[in-house]
Homo-oligomer: A and B are copies of this chain.
Amino acid sequence: MAARTETPTPRIPLSRDRVLATAVELADEGGIEAVTMRRLAQQLGVEAMSLYYHVANKEEVLDGMIDVVMTELNTAVAGSPTDSDWKAEVRKRILTAREVLLRHRWAPAVLESRINMSPSVMQYFDTIGSRFLTAGFSMDLTHHAMHALGSRALGFTQELFDAGDDEESDPEADAEMIEQMAGQFPFLAEMARQVSHDADSTLGWCDDQFEFEFGLDLILDGLDRKLQDG
């Protein structure tokens, strides 16, 4: 009764860190399009223009958000166990990175939109690259390996077929749609048929984690073979 119902968090002074942390929260909850300077300010109990005292512009906010996530990722990966087998170690590292990025679903797209590699991203790739070298990879092969992995090194692949949403789908409607497809796209229809007959899967549903690991192992195994061959 004594305490007034005030605007949220009116106490703590604004700071760059607080701006970025709030931006990340906002994006985690509502996607990156929820992060506008005005909404960010509102969330912080402040006017939009105040943000510009702590941050040059929105680009810097986005850069900062990536830095927050990458710091979290680097910390997680630092705790990942070493292994005398480079493949096992790199694999584990990447899957740990993936766990972090799955908590910030907006991050991959923003990461790809950045022009310059931030120090925290460099940090990550430096660690991965070093592990290749100590495993006996030449500098050249290591370089190619990094490119071949690409965003997979960070634990994500931008899925092109943005497979089935969580909304439960009508199996009858699905089946009908598949049959409509069959004329024009026989292969895709057959694939859809097969996927929809899998245990407890709905149309378009794919096991993202399985597919990620399949692709990752394909590349790691290929690199291993190049290493053996000298």
Bound form: Cα–Cα A130–B140 in Å: 35
The verdict on A76 contacting chain B, using a C-beta distance below 8 Å, is no
B residues near A123, Cβ cutoff 8 Å: 184-185
**How far is the CB of A133 from the nearest CB of chain B, in Å?**
6
B residues near A122, Cβ cutoff 8 Å: 181, 184-185, 188
Main secondary structure of the interface of A (DSSP, over half): helix
Decide: A130 and B187 in contact? CB cutoff 8 A: yes
Decide: A160 and B219 in contact? CB cutoff 8 A: no
**Copies of this chain, count:** 2
Chain A interfacial positions (CB closer than 8 Å to B): 109, 111-117, 119, 121-123, 125-127, 129-130, 133, 139-140, 142-144, 146-148, 150-151, 153-154, 157-162, 181, 184-188, 190-191, 194-195, 206, 211, 214-215, 218-219, 221-223
Chain B residue nearest to A134 in the complex (CB)? B187
**How far is the CB of A58 from the nearest CB of chain B, in Å?**
13
Decide: A184 and B119 in contact? CB cutoff 8 A: yes
Decide: B154 and A150 in contact? CB cutoff 8 A: no
Decide: A218 and B214 in contact? CB cutoff 8 A: no
Bound form: Cα–Cα A117–B161 in Å: 6
B residues near A121, Cβ cutoff 8 Å: 160
Decide: B162 and A157 in contact? CB cutoff 8 A: no
Decide: A125 and B222 in contact? CB cutoff 8 A: no
Q: A109-B113, A191-B142 are in contact. Are A215 and B147 (CB under 8 A)?
A: yes
Bound form: Cα–Cα A135–B153 in Å: 30
